[in-house]
Amino acid sequence: MGDSEGDLLNSPPMEKLGAGGYLSVWKDYGVYGIVGAVVVGILIPLVLSSVFMGKKKEKQRGVPVQVGGEAGYAVRNAQASELVEVPWEGATTMAALFEQSCKKNSQYNFLGTRKLISKEFITASDGRKFEKLHLGDYEWQTYGEIFDRACNFASGLVRLGHNLDSRAAIFSDTRPEWFIALQGCFRQNITVVTIYASLGEDALIHSLNETQVSTLICESKQLKKLAAISSGLESVQNIIYFEDDGTENDISVSGSMSNWTVSAFSDVEKLGKTSPVHPSLPSKNGNAVVMYTSGSTGLPKGVMITHGNIVATAAAVMMVVPNIRRSDIYLAYLPLAHVFELAAESVMLAAGCSMGYGSTLTLTDTSNKIKKGTKGDASVLKPTIMTAVPAILDRVRDGVLKKVEEKGGSAKNLFNIAYKRRLSAVEGSWLGAWGLERMLWDVLVFKRIRALLGGGLRFMLCGGAPLSADSQRFINICMGAPIGQAYGLTETFAGATFSEFDDTTVGRVGPPAPCCYIKLVSWEEGGYKSTDKPMPRGEIVVGGFSVTAGYYKNQEKTNEAYKVDEKGMRWFYTGDIGQFHPDGCLEIIDRKKDIVKLQHGEYVSLGKVEAALSTSNYVDNIMLHADPFHNYCVALVVPSHQALEKWAQQAGINYRDFSELCDKAETVSEVQQSLSKAAKTAKLDKFETPAKIKLLPEAWTPESGLVTAAFKIKREQLKAKFKDELQKLYG
């Protein structure tokens, strides 16, 4: 969300999360299982619920509050009459939080990784090679050990000659050394620049140059790429690389790297260990991180995140996750260069949890890089807390459902009964969640699905993009874990709103996080007012301790999006449109910049219409286009292969390939009718419904640059690529 919206995933090949063959076990229960399940599961609760019938009382989660700045409707978290700023007294910076937590938890496990046992290549029938890994158990280092390593690295950086007035950058996938390097830099008051690993070369050069980075910390596999662009990296003097497990680490320094001092991470640690340097600790308002994320347009902007921002979000999330504690195990696998993962790991550090590192490619037993018959990260680690982005959860759901469909027969029936029963329990009264029935379904059905993610999950944090109601329910039921949905942006260091674990509604993002206020400011042009009934609506504006210091070397953009009120509180204008429910929970309903005014003066909200039209099962992806010089909209549609081919077969349409099918007038007309139906259901106006459409046979992928890694469409890129098609639609 926001301009630097959630490019959360390193384009994870998400089918790899798919549900393997674990559903086959269901068959064994056969018909007796079902009969027993029906008796225990349906009849007993029915009798009981008629005895105890009572209505759930609605809990107040956010309350209106008087605040400074621009007029609007403001809400605070119901638990925090004063905004929380620190997780505990004295933890005012990340450096202080790290040191104090490491001292407190010194002999407990902190960071864990899996040792590589063997690696092999498998050649597919089409000749492509796939790497398959056999990974061992997690090996742990304690809080005390990690603290020492961060101190050593900090000293080593100084001994290496890093200029303490310049910045260091980390450009790497998520791994323990990333976190250690970050904490090491903080101990010398060095600002760390983070760059999202999937950003292109231009963005990388731009970010490093804009921040004048002198030390670049990366993975050994990136050295070649960096050497190739070394002429653009004018400010870089030192390169520190993380060594790889199981590969030769003798790095040949090529000619173009001759101006750089290239060192292995472990050598820098050794250097620091033999000649320690006093720490030079940062202050609360100092820049901890300059985070570059891709926006939907243009070059990436660097968001200046202070130490105070990070500890405030950590404090807020600790209040929201129920009873988070030392015994919790967290599976870390999303990109650390993204605010969501960095915030989550900061919370785990503050709570004294252990963090096992993994990756999207090795997450489950059936993940792509996991050697057949060996275990994925989740089944070895058995995490109690995980983060996820909607795209991943959608794939998990689709994978499980596909497997259920394939099994068919009694397994499918059992699943469907169980799912329906649990669904009505979750959506209905609390009584439905009643223990015995739930236990029964868990044993009969859901236990095997839960094993996919280790079986011990008790809480899931979800952020980055709106989660569909279906997926939220599915994870609630099948994984048996509540989902905390977070809404936030890099500019608010993730923390803006956070849904509570006992909130079973869908489609909302919860009350304001305890570290900030959320205000809705009227946007007259778009027709959203903070005085609207029954719910106040308007642009979402976030104020408080998690609001960052602005964009690096970009005062103009900073002034556009941030305002400081008369009391000195910083407010960030998100550009998202929201409404507050009576219980103080926020719902995101629109996006400001996606609104176009047509020739006759009607406003079209592109996002709203796209969401409505996407309910047609012919639509895989859609971009609505509105041109102020016309009085109607058009749309580019990527149709679902499966749905369209099924229709063509039934309608007796002959075609050579999918592309030809898309071009046929009958096909276009069929999809258009389906869109009109969807538009009617959503009560869209005529001018909002696309008058003409073009079907595009090729999917939009993050690799093609047409959608973000979180699969949100990139309008500018799509408009440029399909300029001719759009022109024809208006022709």
Q: Which residues bind ligand NAG (CB under 6 A)?
A: 165, 189, 205, 209, 230-232, 234, 256, 258-259, 280, 282-283, 286
* Min dist. Cβ of residue 242 to ligand NAG (A): 23
* Distance between CA atoms of residues 307 and 96, nearest Å: 10
* Min dist. Cβ of residue 165 to ligand NAG (A): 6
Decide if 72 contacts 540 (C-beta within 8 A). Answer: no
Closer residue to ligand NAG, CB minimum distance, 304 or 518: 304
Query: Can you spell out the DSSP letters for 105-125?
Result: TTTSEEEEEEEEEEEEEEE-T
Which DSSP state fits 376? -
Closer residue to ligand NAG, CB minimum distance, 118 or 254: 254
The C-alpha angle with vertex 388 and arms to 367 and 543, in degrees rounded to 5, equals 160
* Min dist. Cβ of residue 550 to ligand NAG (A): 16
Closer residue to ligand NAG, CB minimum distance, 189 or 194: 189
* Min dist. Cβ of residue 667 to ligand NAG (A): 47
Closer residue to ligand NAG, CB minimum distance, 151 or 347: 151
- Range 136-162 burial, b when 16+ CB lie within 10 A, else e: eebebbbbebbbbbbbbbbbbbbebeb
Closer residue to ligand NAG, CB minimum distance, 50 or 231: 231
* Min dist. Cβ of residue 155 to ligand NAG (A): 17
Q: How many CB atoms lie within 10 A of CB 623?
A: 22
Residue 430: name the closest of 53, 46, 50 by CA. Answer: 53
- Helix (H) / strand (E) element for 131: namely strand 129-142
Closer residue to ligand NAG, CB minimum distance, 205 or 668: 205
- Report CA-CA distances (Å) from 483 to 141, 332, 445, 499: 29, 17, 20, 8
Which DSSP state fits 445? I
What is the 3-state secondary structure of 38-87? HHHHHHHHHHHHHHHCCCCCCCCCEEECCCCCCCCEEEEECCCCCCCCCC
* Min dist. Cβ of residue 561 to ligand NAG (A): 23
* Distance between CA atoms of residues 95 and 81, nearest Å: 27
* Distance between CA atoms of residues 585 and 576, nearest Å: 15
Partners of 460 in the β-ladder: 386, 483
Query: Can you spell out the DSSP letters for 579-598?
Result: EE-TTS-EEEEEEGGGEEE-
* Min dist. Cβ of residue 256 to ligand NAG (A): 5
Closer residue to ligand NAG, CB minimum distance, 96 or 678: 96
The C-alpha angle with vertex 583 and arms to 392 and 593, in degrees rounded to 5, equals 55
* Distance between CA atoms of residues 378 and 363, nearest Å: 6
Partners of 586 in the β-ladder: 510, 580
* Min dist. Cβ of residue 310 to ligand NAG (A): 15
Closer residue to ligand NAG, CB minimum distance, 260 or 722: 260
* Min dist. Cβ of residue 335 to ligand NAG (A): 24
* Min dist. Cβ of residue 234 to ligand NAG (A): 6
* Min dist. Cβ of residue 502 to ligand NAG (A): 42
Q: What residues contact 369, with CB distance under 8 A and at least 6 apart?
A: 16, 130, 131, 132, 133, 359, 361, 362
* Min dist. Cβ of residue 287 to ligand NAG (A): 7
Closer residue to ligand NAG, CB minimum distance, 26 or 552: 552
Decide if 343 contacts 521 (C-beta within 8 A). Answer: no
* Min dist. Cβ of residue 168 to ligand NAG (A): 12
Closer residue to ligand NAG, CB minimum distance, 86 or 449: 86
* Min dist. Cβ of residue 553 to ligand NAG (A): 9
Closer residue to ligand NAG, CB minimum distance, 230 or 614: 230
Closer residue to ligand NAG, CB minimum distance, 144 or 232: 232
Closer residue to ligand NAG, CB minimum distance, 277 or 431: 277
* Min dist. Cβ of residue 232 to ligand NAG (A): 4
- Report CA-CA distances (Å) from 635 to 594, 620, 673, 699: 14, 13, 13, 15
* Min dist. Cβ of residue 230 to ligand NAG (A): 6
* Distance between CA atoms of residues 133 and 332, nearest Å: 18
* Min dist. Cβ of residue 189 to ligand NAG (A): 4
* Distance between CA atoms of residues 76 and 498, nearest Å: 12
Q: What residues contact 362, with CB distance under 8 A and at least 6 apart?
A: 133, 135, 369, 370, 376, 377
Which DSSP state fits 360? G
- Helix (H) / strand (E) element for 542: namely strand 537-544
Sign of CA dihedral 719, 724, 728, 731: positive
Closer residue to ligand NAG, CB minimum distance, 232 or 455: 232
Closer residue to ligand NAG, CB minimum distance, 232 or 705: 232
Closer residue to ligand NAG, CB minimum distance, 157 or 604: 157
Decide if 527 contacts 537 (C-beta within 8 A). Answer: no
Closer residue to ligand NAG, CB minimum distance, 286 or 511: 286
Q: What amino acid is encoded at 473 in this protein?
A: R
Decide if 454 contacts 404 (C-beta within 8 A). Answer: no
